[in-house]
Structures are given as C-alpha cells and as structure tokens.
Amino acid sequence: MIAAVKNMYHTNSDRVSVLVEKRYRELFREDLDQGFCDQLIQLYLHPEAFDAKDFKGYDLKTILQYLRITHNYYLDSRLPEIEQTIGQLTLSNAPTPLVKRVVLFFSAYRTKLHQHIEKEEKGILNHVENVLRGENGDKTIVEDFLKEHDDIDSILTYVNELLSTEYLEQNMSLISLLSAQIELLMIDLYIHGRVEEEVFIPKVLNYFTEK
Ligand SMILES: [Fe+2]
Ligand SMILES: [Fe+2]
C-alpha cells in the first residue's frame, strides 16, 4: 500500500493538493481541532511522511472524533461520488470489459467498506466513547480489533490498476476522473488506517491504564 501511495503522490500531487485542502476544511470546520486538521492536510500531500509521533499532542477524544467524522464522510460522500462516476461511465458507453470489471470490483469494495466501518463503529469506537463517559475499559475489545483489523485497500488498488493499465478512448475524461477519485479515497484510507492502529489504539491502551 505504501508503494502505491508514494507513487500517487509523485504523479498526482497537483490535483491532490487542489482538492484536499478545500475538502478537509469543509469537512471538519469547527468540529475538529484546527491544528489536527492542518496536519491531516499536510499528510495528504505527503502520506509517506506519516509518523505517529506527530499526533502525540492530541487527546483521545479528538482522534475518536476524527475517525467518526471520516467514517461518515467515506460512506456518505466519497463512495456515492465514485459510484456516480461509474454510473456515468456505464451510461455513456456500451459497457466494455473494463467497465464491467470496474463495476463488479467496486460493488464488492463498497460492501467491504460498509462492513469494515460498521464493525468499528459498533465495536471499538462505541466502547471507547463509553469509557470516556466513565465505563471501565475492556482490553479484549482492543486486542480483537488489532487481530481482525484488515487491509481494506487491496480491491481499490486493483480497480485503480485496471484503470491505469487499460485504455478507454471514448471516455478518457471519465476514466481519469474516476481514477483521481479512487486515488483520493485510497490516500484517505491509508492515513485513516495508520491513525487507527498507530495513534488511536496506543492512546486507548494508555487511557485504560491511567484511568
Ligand atoms: Fe476506520
Ligand atoms: Fe479501519
């Protein structure tokens, strides 16, 4: 995954930088610490520079907020945006083998992402929220999360490879738009996943111990 992200950054840094700042500022507004928001924007432009130590100064509540806001954002904005482009691609052309494969794989990916997020929301995130309200922490929930937390990017990487290796003459602009939308989601999920495992979980364990 890191190789794919590095590659994206080097090939698409201009279009990424234009979109990212606007999207993140709009998404977080006053709901998230602005320093945290600035750091995320910088990371988007340089995902390979991710370092969990940079998040040391933020409290558990802020990290939890970030995870919840972005979960909703992926499901309510990013997935529909990609699906809309796939829909346009399907309508504008007799479905080619490439389009058929993209539709198939993306539909499988959509289900997988929904399940992944639902499991986190109902499991670890709800538990941590209850602990922040005063309940006792349960380490087995954290251990189960780490054991089962899977890579949700492999199908997306594959879809994007399909798009970049095959050529669709009549719909180049749509293919290019779809590829950019998928790349943005991949970078987002890459940062999100690393925050979950390398920032959130250590802070949760620390909070359980100190409580
Ligand atoms: Fe998540
Ligand atoms: Fe996750």
Q: What digits encode the pLDDT tens for the residues 113-139?
A: 999 999 999 999 999 999 999 999 999
What is the distance in A from the centroid of ligand 2 to the CA of 196? 6
What is the distance in A from the centroid of ligand 2 to the CA of 149? 6
Tell me the HSE value of 37 on the side-chain side, using a 13 A CA sphere: 17
The span from the CA of 119 to the CA of 69, in Å, is: 15
Where helices occur in 133-200 by DSSP H, the ranges are 139-148, 154-165, 172-194
Residues lying with their CB under 5 A of ligand 2, a single-atom ion: 196
Average pLDDT over residues 46-65: 93
Average pLDDT over residues 34-40: 88
What is the distance in A from the centroid of ligand 1 to the CA of 120? 6
Taking 50 as the threshold, does the pLDDT of residue 10 lie above it? no
Q: How far is CA 136 from CA 13, 65, 207, in A?
A: 44, 20, 10
3-state secondary structure string, 172-186?
HHHHHHHHHHHHHHH
Taking 50 as the threshold, does the pLDDT of residue 4 lie above it? yes
Nearest partner of 66 among 17, 22, 32, judged by Cα: 32
Residues lying with their CB under 5 A of ligand 1, a single-atom ion: 120
Summarised one tens digit per residue, pLDDT across range 64-77 is 999 999 999 999 99
List the chain domain ranges: 59-210
Summarised one tens digit per residue, pLDDT across range 76-125 is 999 999 999 999 888 876 777 888 888 899 999 999 999 999 999 999 99
Tokens of 123: 């499991």
Model confidence, pTM: 0.88
Share of the chain above pLDDT 90, in %: 49
- Residue 175 — very low, low, confident or very high, per pLDDT cuts 50/70/90? confident
